[in-house]
Structure 1
Amino acid sequence: MPHPRFTLVRNTVAASLAAASVCASLQGQVTLQPKSMRRVAQVDPRYVSFNVEAIEITGGRFWKPFPKKDQPPAAPGTTTDPYQYRPPIDLSRPKIRKLAGALAPSYMRVSGTWRNSTYFQDDDAPQMSTPPAGFKGVMTRAQWKGAIDFAHAVGADLVTSVAISDGTRDANGDWTTTQAKTFFDFTRKAGGHIAATEFLNEPTFAAQGAAPTGYDEAAFAKDVKAFRTFLKAESPETIYLGPGSIGEGVPMIVGMPMPKMLSTEKMLQASGPVFDAFSYHVYTTLSPRCVGKMGLSWEKVLTPAYLDRNPDTEAFYAKLRDTYLPGKQIWLTETGEAGCGGSPWASAFIDTFRFADQLGSLARRDVQTVMVNTLASSDYGLLNEETLNPRPDYWLAVLWKRLMGTTVLDAGPAPDATLRIYAHCMKGVQGGVSVVALNIDKDAEHALTLPAAERYTLTAPELLSETMMLNGKPLQAGEDGTLPAITGERAKAGEQKLPPASITFFTVRNAGNAACRGK
C-alpha cells in the first residue's frame, strides 16, 4: 500500500425477461435457469490471491490499526501517527500457514511502495541497521527465504517488483540491474520462482514511491524497457506485469484534488507494448488516516454507487489496455477496502459486500486475479495481525475458492439495484453451477427461484460486527488455524428468500450446464 495519495446501470424488467438465464417479475423476484447460463469469461485458478507487503518481510513502519472498540466509530476520525513499527512477520507460524493454505492455489505478491526503495542484502549477515545510500529499507536473504518457503508451504506463486530508487541508479540516473540480478539469482538458489513481476509499485505516484526527482513518463518508459531486456534474459518464464497504476478513472474521495501524478496513457504511449499483461491497483476509497473527516462513512458502503467503483475503475484501465496492449490479460495486483491501511470497518462484515461484488463483477470482465492487501496486517488484513483469527473477508474468500470455478457465466440482469447476482461453473463438479447473490438492502428481503441447490447464507449480528455467520452459525477457526466444516443447507427447488444485508451462495450440482462440462 502506498503513502497517502490522493454507474450504476439499472436493468429494466424488459431486459431481464429477454435474458436466456433469468426472468423477473414486477415485484423483483428472479427466476434463475442455471442450465442455460452461457460462458462469458475465464479466470485464473489463483483468482483470489493476497499481498504480504515488503515492509512486513523486512520489518518497519506500516499502517497503524485503529483502536478497537465494541464497534468502529460511525464518524471517521484520525490517528496522531498513522504508522506503527512492526518486526519482520513470522511466516513460519503453523496457524498463518494453515489459514493461507486454505486459499490455495493463489498468488502471493510481495511488493508495495516500500519495495521501491528496499535494498536486497545479498549475504548471510544480520540485517544492516542503516540502508545504503539511495535506499530506505533492507531485506535480508533469510527474510526473503522465509517468504519463499511460506509460498511453497501454502500453494502460492510469487509475484513481486524491484527496487528503483536512487540507490539503483548510475551517475547518469539510469536504472541498473545489479540489485534486481542479486534478488533473482538468490531466489533461484533458495528454491523459489517469481511467477510474475511489476517493475515498480504504482508509477502514477512515482514521487511518493521513492522514484528519482523529476521522474516522468519518459523516464518510466526508459526504465521498463531496460527491465524487460533484463527480465527476458534473467527469467524469461516470468510474466512481466505493468504498468501497475492506481488513482485514475474514479476518484477515491469525491471532490478531493489529486496530487500531481503521472498519466498511465502517456506512460504506455512512451513505453510501447513491453508488458506481457496489464496490471493495475484499486482502492474504493481512502482511509481517514490519510483524509480525516473527508473519508467515507460506513453508512455509504451498502450503495450501488460505492460498489460500482470497482467495475468503473476497471473499465477505465481496460480501455487503456485495449488501446495499448490489445489482447493481453488484465490483473488486479493490489486492492482492499481503503487505501492507507483500511477504514475502521474494513475488518467488519459490512466490507464483504464490496469484496464479493468486486470478485463477481471483475470476473465477468475477465480480470484474471484479484490480490487482496493484505494477508495479515492493519485493518484491511484478511487475518487479524495479532491473533491471526480470520475476519469476514477471509471467510468470503474461502467460500469463493471452494465453490466458484474458473469459468464465469452470465447470470443475467437483476431487476433491482440492491440485488446483485453472479454465477460461475461449480468448482470440481462437471455441469454444476454456483451462484452468489448479494442483497445490499438493509431492510428488505429479496427472492430467487432456482432448482434444488445447496445454500450458504452469510450474515452477521450487526453490519459492523467482525463475526461472520454461515446459515446462522458463527464461523470460527481453531487456535491452530483449522477451519470448521463449511457445509451448505439443502434447498428445495423453488423460491429462496434472501435476508436483508446478506450474501448467499447456491450450488446447483445437477444443473447440466454444457459450458461447465469441461473438455
Structure 2
Amino acid sequence: MNVRRVLVILCSLYVPCARSQSVSVNVATDREIGLIDDHFVGITFDSSMLPISANWFGFDFSSHKVQTLAKGMSPCYLRIGGTPGDFMTFDPTGSGGGSANSTYTGAMWDDLNYFLKTVGWDLVFGLNVLKRKDGQWDPTNAMELINYTNTRNYTIPGFELGNEPACFPQPFNNSVSGAQLGRDFVHLRDILKSTPGFNSTMVIGPDVTAVFGHKLTFLKNFFEGEGRKPLDRITFHQYYGFEGIASLGTFIDPEVMDRLIISINTVRNITTPADPNTPLWLGETSSFSGGGAPGLSDRYVAGFLWLDKLGIAARMGLKGVLRQSFYGGNYSLVEMNTFDPYPDYWLTLLYKRLIGYKVLSVQTNSTNSFRVYAHCARQESLYNYKPGTVVIYIVNVNNYTTAVTFPQFRTNMDVFWFSPEFQDLTSRNVTLNGKRLDYINYTIPEMPPERAYGGSLQIPATTFGFVVFPDAGVDVCSQD
C-alpha cells in the first residue's frame, strides 16, 4: 500500500485530524553535533530477578523465542542492578538457585553468562556496596565473584558499585556519604587494575536518581571528593515521575518530555567541572518508576516518551541509555511468561536498525509538540543504506495532523510509521505502516518501509516514526 494512502487512512480514523499545521524540517548537514555507538541503547534486568527461586521470574534463558528477541537488541549492554543488589551475596558453591535471603550462586552466574554469549549482550553488573567494614566497602564477596568469573573465562565489561546511593533503604539510608562512596569507587578501581582479566573492565557509577535536594548534595560531595577519579562512565537514573501520578496525558505532554532536559543539565552542571571528559549515561531509565504505569508503560502510548528520550539523549551528548527493563514490570520490552514483545520492543528494534552514529542538528518552525531528531543512517544493517543517507524521526503529540516538508530532500523517502492497533493510544499492539507487528513462527517479522516521494508527508495526530532519505547524499554521512 502506498505510504500516502496509509497516512491518509490513519488520519481519517482520528477525529482531531480536521485541524492541521504545516512544518518545515531542515537538517544541518555541514557537520555532526555528536556521536553515539552501537551500544547506545541498552537494557536492564532488576537485581531482584537473581535470587528468586532460581527461575529469574520465569525468564527462560533456553527459550528460542527469548533468544531471538534478545539477539534483536544486540549489540548492547545488559545492566543488572537495583535496590535488591545491595542485599545480595555471591555463593560460588551453592547448588541450584538462590534463596530468599538474596544469595545467588555460581550455577546462576553460569546460566547468565552462557545466555549473554549466545545473544551477544555485554554485562554491566552492580556489586553490593552495603557489605561494609569499618565504614568502608568490604570487597571480600566481590572478589569471590571476580575470581569465579576468571576461572570460567567470562568477560565482564563493567561493574557498578551500589544502586541509587542517596536512597538506600533503612537501616542503611544514611550510612554512606557521597565522599565515602567516592573512596569506595577508587578501591574498586584499584582491585580491577591489579586483577588479571579485569584491568580493562569499566567502573561505572554513581547511579544517583532524582537529582534534587539531598540527592543533589550527595552527588556534589561525590564529585568534589575522590569520586571524580575512578569512573569510566558517569551514570544517573531518570524517570518522569512515580507510576502513581501517570495518566494517558502525561505520556504525550511536551512539558513532561522536557523534564529529561532539566535532569541532564542538572547532572552536567555538577559532573562537567569535576570530570569533563567521562561519558554520561542514563544508567537506568524508563517512563515512570515503581515498575511503570500499568496499562500505559506497556502500551503504544509509551513510545512517545521513549523515542523522544532517545532523541534528546543523543542530541545532548549522552553515550548510553539503558532501558528499564527488558523483562519484568509494566515498563518491560517483553511480556512476562509469554515473552510476547510490547510496542516499545518493536520501536527499539527499529531504532537500532536505522539510527547511525552521527547526530545531526535539526531546525523546524514547529511547536514543542512536534519533535524532530536526525542522524546519519546506520549502514551496516539489513536495510543496507548507502553512505550519505539521512534518517529523521518524529514524535507528534499534537491531536491533529501535520503537513511536514523536507526542502533539502526532495527525493525518495522510506517511511516507517507506527500507529496503535484500533487507533487506541492504550493499544497492546502496534502497527508499522498499517500492518500489525507480531512474533510468529519463531521469527521476527520483516519490517519493510513504505516508499514515498517529493519531500513532503502528512503526519497523523499522536503518532511517531522514522523517515529515511536514501538519496540525500550528505557528505558528513559519507565519511567515516
Q: CA offset at residue 127 of structure 1?
A: 3.9
1:128–1:510 distance in 2 versus 1, CA, 3 Å = closer
Distance 1:31 1:222 in 2: 48
CA distance in structure 2 between the aligned counterparts of 1:50 and 1:309, rounded to whole angstroms: 21
Alignment partners' CA distance in 1, 2:107 and 2:452: 51
Which residue does 1:285 correspond to in 2?
A: 241
Alpha-carbon separation, structure 1, partners of 2:61 and 2:259: 33
State the distance in 2 between where 1:307 and 1:320 align: 22
Map of 1:199 onto structure 2 = 161
Residue type of the alignment partner of 1:241: I
For residue 454 of structure 1, the aligned residue among 399, 414, 417 is: 414
Cα distance in 1 for residues equivalent to 2:257 and 2:119: 31
CA distance in 2, matches of 1:163, 1:319: 28
Name which of 377, 388, 397 aligns with 1:431. 388
* Structure 2 counterpart of 1:467, from 403, 416, 429: 429
User: Residues 129 and 509 from structure 1, CA distance in 2 versus in 1: closer, same or farther, beyond 3 angstroms?
Assistant: closer
**C-alpha offsets along residues 402-456 of structure 1, whole Å, 9 cap, x if unaligned?**
1111111112244212111111111113111111011111233342334321011
In structure 2, the partner of 1:4 is none
Does the 8 Å CA contact 1:408/1:423 hold for their aligned counterparts? yes
Q: 1:110 is paired with a residue of what secondary structure?
A: strand
Indicate the residue corresponding to 1:112 in structure 2.
Answer: 82
Over the residues paired in the alignment, what is the CA RMSD in angstroms? 2.3
Counterpart in 1 of 2:181? 220
Aligned residues: 446
Residue 397 of structure 2 contacts residue 461 of structure 2 at CA under 8 Å; is this kept in 1? yes
- Counterpart in the other structure of 1:495: 456
The answer to whether the Cα contact below 8 Å between 2:27 and 2:361 also exists between their aligned partners in 1 is no
Q: 1:37 and 1:195 mapped to 2: Cα distance?
A: 35
Return the alpha-carbon distance in structure 2 between the equivalents of residues 438 and 471 of structure 1: 15
Q: In structure 2, what is the Cα distance between the partners aligned to 1:260 and 1:437?
A: 34
TM-score by length of 1: 0.81
- Take 1:162 and 1:196, find their aligned partners in 2: how far apart are those partners? 10
- Residue 380 of structure 1 aligns with which residue? 331
Residue of structure 1 aligned with 2:399, choices 439, 442, 454: 442
Counterparts in 2 of 1:344-359, with a 5 A limit?
344=294, 345-359=296-310
Structure 2 unaligned regions, length at least 5:
1-19, 380-385
SS in 2 for 1:367: coil
Aligned partner of 1:253 in structure 2 is none
Is 1:159 the counterpart of 2:119 in the alignment? no
Question: 2:438 & 2:319 partners in 1: Cα distance?
Answer: 30
Preserved contact between residue 28 and residue 416 of structure 1 (Cα < 8 Å)? no
Please list the CA deviations of residues 277-298 of structure 1 after superposition, one character each: whole Å capped at 9, or x if unmatched. Answer: 211111111112xxxxxx1322
1:269 equivalent to 2:224? Answer yes
CA gap 1:138/1:89 in 2 versus in 1, 3 angstroms: farther
Aligned twin of 1:96: 66
- Separation in 1 of the partners of 2:356 and 2:340? 26
Aligned AA (2:43): F
1:57 aligned onto 2:50: yes
Give 3-state SS (helix, strand or coil) of 1:49's partner. Answer: strand
**Quick one: distance in 1 between partners of 2:46 and 2:404?**
41
Q: Following the alignment from structure 1 to structure 2, what is the Cα–Cα distance between the partners of residues 60 and 248?
A: 35
| Distance in 2, Cα, partners of 1:373 & 1:447 | 33
**Alignment partner, residue 139 of structure 1:** 104
Alpha-carbon deviations, 1:375-421, whole Å to 9, x = none?
A: 11110000011211111111110110111111111122442121111
Contact residue 50 and residue 98 of structure 2 kept, 8 A: no
Offset at residue 475 of structure 1 (A): 0.8
C-alpha displacement at 1:269, in angstroms?
1.1
1:243 aligns with 2:216: no
Provide the identity percentage.
Answer: 25
Task: Tell me if 1:366 matches 2:337.
Answer: no
Distance 1:60 1:124 in 2: 13
Q: Residues 128 and 441 (structure 1 numbering): CA distance in 2 closer, same or farther, change over 3 Å?
A: closer
Whether the 8 Å CA contact 2:419–2:430 is kept in 1: the answer is yes
Write out per-residue CA displacement over residues 177-199 of structure 1, whole angstroms, 9 at most, x where no aligned residue.
Answer: 21111112222333321112221
Which residue of structure 2 lines up, in the alignment, with residue 32 of structure 1? Answer: 26
> Aligned partners of 2:331, 2:150: CA distance in 1, in Å?
32
Which 10-residue stretch deviates more, 122-131 or 341-350?
122-131
Deviation at 1:261, TM superposition (A): 8.0
Contact persistence 1:435–1:505 (CA under 8 A): yes
- Of 135, 146, 149, the residue aligned with 2:114 is 149
